[in-house]
Amino acid sequence: MEKISVPSVLAREGLVADSFSMCFGHDGVGRISFGDKGSSDQEETPFNLNPSHPNYNITVTRVRVGTTLIDDEFTALFDTGTSFTYLVDPMYTSVSESAQDKRHSPDPRIPFNYCYDMSSDANASLIPSLSLTMKGNSHFTINDPIIVISTEGELVYCLAIVKSSELNIIGQNYMTGYRVVFDREKLVLAWKKFDCYDIEETKTTLTGANKTEAVAPAMAAGIRTHNNNSSEELHRTNQTNSESSSSSSNQRFKTVTLWSFFRFLFILFPLL
Whether pLDDT at 256 is above 60? no
Percentage of the chain beyond pLDDT 90 is 38
Whether pLDDT at 237 is above 80? no
Average pLDDT, the chain: 76
What pLDDT is attached to residue 171? 94
Place 71 in a pLDDT band, splitting at 50, 70 and 90: very high
Whether pLDDT at 113 is above 70? yes
Higher pLDDT pick, 140 / 66: 140
Range with the lowest mean pLDDT among 108-122, 226-240, 244-258?
244-258
Q: What is the dihedral of CA 8, 9, 13, 18, to 10 degrees?
A: -20
- Rg of the chain's alpha carbons, rounded to an integer? 22
Higher pLDDT pick, 113 / 210: 113
- What digits encode the pLDDT tens for the residues 156-213? 888 899 999 999 999 999 999 999 999 999 999 999 999 888 866 555 545 443 443 4
Phi, psi of 245 (to 5 degrees): -65, -45
Q: Using alpha carbons, list the distances in angstroms from residue 172 to 136, 209, 211, 218, 255.
A: 22, 35, 33, 22, 26
Q: What is the mean pLDDT of residues 98-108?
A: 75
- What digits encode the pLDDT tens for the residues 75-89? 999 999 999 999 999
Whether pLDDT at 262 is above 60? no
Q: What is the mean pLDDT of residues 233-255?
A: 40
> Cα angle vertex 93, ends 90, 95, to 5°?
105
DSSP 8-state class, residue 74: E
Assign a CATH topology to domain 6-224: Cathepsin D, subunit A; domain 1 (2.40.70)
